[in-house]
Amino acid sequence: MQSPLYTTMAVVGAGAMGRGIAQIAAQAGSRVRLFDAQAAAVDKAVREIGSQWDRLQEKGRMDAAAVQACKSRLLPAGDIAELADCQLVVEAVVERLDVKKELFARLESVVAAEAVLATNTSSLSVTAIAAGLQRPGRLAGYHFFNPVPLMKVVEVIAGLRTEPAACEQLAAYARQMGHTPVQAQDTPGFIVNHAGRGYGTEALRIAAEGVADFATIDRILRDQAGFRLGPFELLDLTALDVSHPVMESIYRQYYDEARYRPSVITAQRLAGGLLGRKSGEGFYRYVDGKAQVPPEPAAPQVGEVPPVWVSTRAARRQELYQLLKELGAKIETGQSPSLNALTLVAPLGFDVTTVAVVERLDPARTVGIDLLVEDAATRRRVLATNPATRADMRDAAHALFARDGKPVSVIRDSGGFVTQRVLATIVNIAADICQQRICTPKDLETAVTLGLGYPMGPLAMGDRWGPANVLEVLFNMQTVYGDPRYRPSPWLRRRGAIGLSLLQEEA
């Protein structure tokens, strides 16, 4: 085993996060002193970490000698004075600025002048935490994610006065612990919690508009965009008593920036105790730990599908024609639809209503289909009606697009459907993180894929579906909603204008 950068380090806080950090530090070869204001919590944590190592041995992932060595390096501390010989102290206590500042003031009087201090804060300012120290330059952010042994990314955050050497050492130590460090500036949410604002908050806006229910939105984003969990499944997993305060904190710290606006839905559910899995009910109800998901409506039975006319402005128009042929549709190719035709539009960012009015189509016979992502790459099709769409036209479109067995979701009118607006919001926020120089595009992609488990990084998403298309979605959504939330980041707008990859670093 490589000699650890810090032979003796300490973790303050014996909760789940502190236990995880202590575990991987001991596995990396460091002697770890674990301290908590509650002595009983330390004893419990030592037992639980030891049990984790025992399970790893049972699975053949650690041998008996390695387990015994790790256990010998994990040392409970009964008093903060016992941390005096530690070269690094990582704080993992409650997310309160006053508590953290008081703790670091005590630590500064105990540890050596050259010791590095690190805070595991997820939402507080590293600069503010360090402000009361005599040597604020030795304090940096060191943000791990739960469960620490499995979540292999750690954000290394420089406060305004953090010395570069402190961040370099913490990054090197993270690698020794088997984690991937990413460098971030001290801004609200850092990288992962900042970049993650788009997924949940935009899904909540969609639900608040009555576009679709929670289960339908989850299905669409799993099947069309490839997310492993839908946004409401994810909110139930993380629990609203954790996720909603983070939404509010980042929103307020950015002085009510519209891109990060929270939702009254989560505020109300938090107040009502519908926290998610851990409370037995959230956006879903849980029985024996399993979500009770309402069944998906079956495709309607339709006697005869009317002829289909496709808008001349439809996205992926040729692909749509080919799909209709494969589904056996009768296709009209005139300049305008006949009086009996089902009219299909495929807008980017606009709602079906706007397209029908602008193109002078009969709204009663007009249905939209989301084709930002090519049909062959999705496991679900999404159709949208407008307020005037006739039920027979809606059912005919649903039946037609379900002919080959691919699931179809029919939603109410929405600028950007579901997938377009969520993906565009994610890409736009990521672009603005790069605009603010919070981190490099490379570290952004690494942090999001490892920290959030997205199918690809947000900038790669932008490249995959085209910066110009993402910009079109955003510009058109801003027109539909009149909300500055959808204004494109200058970083994205400039790259889209000149056809530059979002992943390309600037000279």
Say what the pLDDT of residue 505 is. 85
Q: Could you report how far apart the first and last alpha carbons of the chain are, in Å?
A: 39
- Alpha helix positions (H), 272-418: 317-326, 352-358, 391-401
Q: What is the rounded average pLDDT of the residues 65-87?
A: 97
Q: Give every CB contact of residue 441 below 8 A, 6+ residues apart in sequence.
A: 434, 459, 502, 503, 504, 505
pTM > 0.85: yes or no: yes
> Average pLDDT in the 94-100 region?
94
Among 143, 179, 194, 244, the one annotated catalytic? 143
Cα separation, 13 vs 35, whole angstroms = 6
Q: What is the mean pLDDT of residues 306-330?
A: 98
Q: Which of 120, 122, 125, 489 is catalytic?
A: 122
pLDDT in tens, 400-424: 999 999 999 999 999 999 999 999 9
Catalytic residue among 155, 281, 445, 472: 155
Helix axes 16-27, 39-58, angle to 10 degrees: 50
Q: For the chain, give the mean pLDDT.
A: 96
Q: Could you tell me which of 152, 166, 155 has the C-alpha nearest to residue 190?
A: 155
- Report the pLDDT averaged over residues 94-121: 96
Number of neighbours of residue 466 by Cβ within 10 angstroms: 15
pLDDT digits 0-9 by tens, 153-170: 999 999 999 999 999 999
- Would you call 123 a catalytic residue per the annotation? no
Give the helix/strand (H/E) hosting 408.
Answer: strand 408-411
Looking at residue 506, what is its pLDDT? 84
pLDDT band at 1 (very low <50, low <70, confident <90, very high): low
Catalytic, 398? Answer: no
Give the three-class secondary structure for 364.
helix
Which residue is catalytic, options 30, 120, 125, 193? 193
The pLDDT tens digits for 231-255 are 999 999 999 998 999 899 999 999 9
The answer, yes or no, to whether residue 285 has pLDDT greater than 70, is yes
Cα(419)–Cα(370) distance, integer angstroms: 8
Q: What is the dihedral of CA 397, 398, 403, 407, to 10 degrees?
A: 140
pLDDT at 17: 97
Active site residue 122: yes
The Cβ-side half-sphere exposure at 11, using a 13 Å CA radius, reads 30
Element (H, E) at 158: strand 153-158
pLDDT in tens, 181-212: 999 999 999 999 999 999 999 999 999 999 99
- Is residue 296 annotated as part of the catalytic site, yes or no? no
Confidence band (pLDDT; 50, 70, 90) for 44? very high
pLDDT at 123: 83
- Average the pLDDT over 365-372 and give the result: 98
Cα–Cα distance, 258 to 477 (Å, whole number): 14
Confidence category of residue 104, pLDDT binned at 50, 70, 90: very high
